[in-house]
Structures are given as structure tokens and as C-alpha cells.
Amino acid sequence: TREHAFVWRAYSLVDSSQVSTFLISILLIVYGSFRSLNMDCENQEKDKDGNLNCYLCLKKLQIKMIISVFATFNFLYLFYDCFPGIQTIDSTQALFLPIGASVSLLVMFFFFDSVQVVFTICTAVLATIAFAFLLLPMCQYLTRPCSPQNKISFGCCGRFTLAELFSFSLSVLLVLIWVLTGHWLLMDALAMGLCVAMIAFVRLPSLKVSCLLLSGLLIYDVFWVFFSAYIFNSNVMVKVATQPAENPIDVLSRKLHLGPGMGRDVPRLSLPGKLVFPSSTGSHFSMLGIGDIVMPGLLLCFVLRYDNYKKQASGEVPGPGNVSGRMQRVSYFHCTLIGYFVGLLTATVASRIHRAAQPALLYLVPFTLLPLLTMAYLKGDLRRMWSEPFHTKTSSSRFLEV
């Protein structure tokens, strides 16, 4: 009957896989954004104390590895100089990122068999660093009662606290289990680490750069999902995102001519460039690329920093174009987060209606940018947010070079 069909469609939209995707993606963005804000506060305190050297030594390694994670899963390899601080994307990079990502996507599409082992090894290393960053606050909480926060020297490798070593050890263990089992839950855990690390370490400096980046990636996503099949006789984006890679242990076993029982029974690996959740019936998986979390997440991180900046600004008087009352009390972060939720819901409905993969950014970008632009205009902040919203330049901030 029609009623039963309607109930079944409604249930299919809110099954366990969809609910898990919604909750986890939103939690990752919120956590990554607040982690980013805390890092800014820590940097300011350490700048005041003049005690940045040891702190930046660890952050330098973490940032370089995590930026490479971003490049890996957006299929764009970025080359950059040594730098000690958080990275900011400028207008030129925002414009050329979709082009570079398209070139790298084609390389992965045509030459995946040739580079898959190296790609998997690099992924495992980078995911280890990112997941250690995700675990670090928990490890700091666990080790605080029993150990001082003194750093242990490892020679040329640097100096690390017990919490940092603990988080790195747990991360290595999880990656090894993932390589041996290929379980989707471990892959999701690594993907979560990548999302949080990217949102925490990469900055969008203004609303102008945000619009350039997200608009370019929207076109990139739409083209490779909807139109690539007409040119390459295959959906390039879907094939690259879902293609499993050979397990390095299996490859090593064959190269060394080991016996069938020595590393030959390990599974192929689905790389953590996405979040996947099974439905309650186990009949299908819900999938969301980490780019669909990280890219809107960078925008939400930007507006959270701007909300915090406005709160800290002293003696700020609303301009003649500003509105008062409830509109002033609504934060940009909450407005954009609601837009992200609505956009994700719309993308889910569209994928169920069309029964095909949808470019999530086609829905996420308008539902996050348009409410933000509208609210900024109504509050009178649009001009400030568009160019130089924070009015400060730190000496440690350098732009990423492509």
C-alpha cells in the first residue's frame, strides 16, 4: 500500500547507517573546530611566555604529515617549505586546488595498480600521525595523575611527553590491526583522525577565500560524479573512492616467496578516505567522503574563530547596518552548522531518490555559504569577514606553497 511504501522510505532515510553518518560527521566538525580554537589559545599563551621551541618541534612534524594526508585523500600532492605554525590557504591555492585535485584524480584512476602499494603505505603512516593527534587529549587526561608533563628526549627525533608517546603507540597498534584485518570500523577511526587533524591545522583566512575554495570544489565534485562517465566510460570519482588496494603484507609475502600461510590470507584494504557505516540489516553501507566533512569543516572553523574574535573584541559598537536583538545573539557557527545538517539531509534524500551516488558538496556548499552570507550581511559584518576579518597578522603564520 501507499502508506507502507511511505513508511519504508521514511525508515530507509533514518536507518542506523544514515543516523551514524549524520552524527559522526557533525561531531567531527564541532570537535575539530573547537580543537582548532584551543590550539590558537595555546599558541597565544606560549607566544607570551616565549617558550615555543619544543612545542613547535612536535607541531611541525604533525602539520607536515597531516597536510600530506589532506593531499592524499584529495589526490593532490602539495610541496611546501619547512614551517613552524598552522597553515593558511590563500586565494591562489583556493583557485588551483580543484585543478590539481582533478589531475591527481586522473593519475589515481589510470595508474592505481602501479602506485597502490606505495599509496597504502603512505596512508598508513599518515593515518598513524593523525589518529595520534586525535587521541592526544585523552592520553593527556589518563597520564596526568601518574606522570609529570616533562618531555623525554629521543635525540634527533625530538622531545615528547608521556602522553604523546602513549597516543602514538595506541595509534600504531590500531593501524597495524587495520592492516591485518581491514575492518571497516578501524578504517572509520582512522578517517575520523584525518578529519579532525585537517580541520584543526588548516585555516581559511577570510570569507573570500572560503567562497573561492568551496565553489571550486563544488564544480570539481559535480563534474567528476555526474559527467566523468560520459568522457571516461566510468564514474571516476566513485571508482577511485571505492577501489580497494592490495595489502602491503601480501605484496611483501609474494616478493619474498613466502609460503601460502605467511601473509597470504590478509584482506585487501579499503583506504580511509571516507566514512562507511552498515545499515541495521547489513544490506548496504552509507558512505561519506572525508572531503565532504573537512571542506565544510574548514568553513565552520573559520566562523567559530570569528565568533570568538567578536566576543573578545572590547568596546565594539554595532554599525548602522547592524541589527539588534535575537539576530545579534545567533552565532555564525550555529547558523552554518544547521546549514551543514540540512545540506547533508538533502544530499541523503537525493541519493535515495535517484538511487545513485551524489556529489555531497552540491548540497553542502549552498546550505552553508548562503545562510552565512545572509547573516553576515544582516549583521553588518560581511565587508569585514570578506577580506581581513581578524585584523591581526602573526609572524609565525605562513602560506602554504603549491
- Summarize pLDDT for 128-160 with one digit per residue, the tens: 999 999 999 998 888 877 766 677 777 777 778
pLDDT at 194 over 60: yes
For residue 72, name the pLDDT band (cuts at 50, 70, 90): very low
Mean pLDDT of the chain: 78
- Identify the weakest region by mean pLDDT among 60-74, 335-349, 351-365: 60-74
Q: What are the beta bridge partners of residue 152? A: 160
The upper half-sphere exposure of residue 394, i.e. CA atoms within 13 Å in the direction of its Cβ, equals 16
- Summarize pLDDT for 375-401 with one digit per residue, the tens: 999 888 899 999 878 765 444 444 444
For residue 189, name the pLDDT band (cuts at 50, 70, 90): very high
**CA pair distance 214, 98, nearest whole angstrom:** 9
pTM: 0.82
**CA pair distance 123, 182, nearest whole angstrom:** 13
Q: Is 160 strand, coil or helix?
A: strand
Amino acid at 62: Q
- Identify the weakest region by mean pLDDT among 17-31, 83-97, 197-211, 235-249: 83-97
Q: Does residue 250 have an active-site annotation? A: no
Confidence at residue 272, expressed as pLDDT on a 0 to 100 scale: 84
User: What angle (nearest 5°) sits at the alpha carbon of residue 270, between those of residues 265 and 271?
Assistant: 125
Pull the grid cell for residue 357.
551516488
Catalytic residue among 40, 49, 265, 292: 292
Catalytic residue among 188, 221, 250, 381: 221
Report whether 17 contacts 285 (CB < 8 A).
Answer: yes
pLDDT at 25 over 90: yes
**CA pair distance 136, 138, nearest whole angstrom:** 5
Confidence at residue 41, expressed as pLDDT on a 0 to 100 scale: 76
pLDDT over 70 percentage in the chain:
73
For residue 60, name the pLDDT band (cuts at 50, 70, 90): very low
Q: Does residue 292 have an active-site annotation? A: yes
- Summarize pLDDT for 305-322 with one digit per residue, the tens: 999 888 887 545 444 444
Higher pLDDT, 82 or 104: 104
- Name the residue among 298, 369, 376 with its Cα closest to residue 336: 369
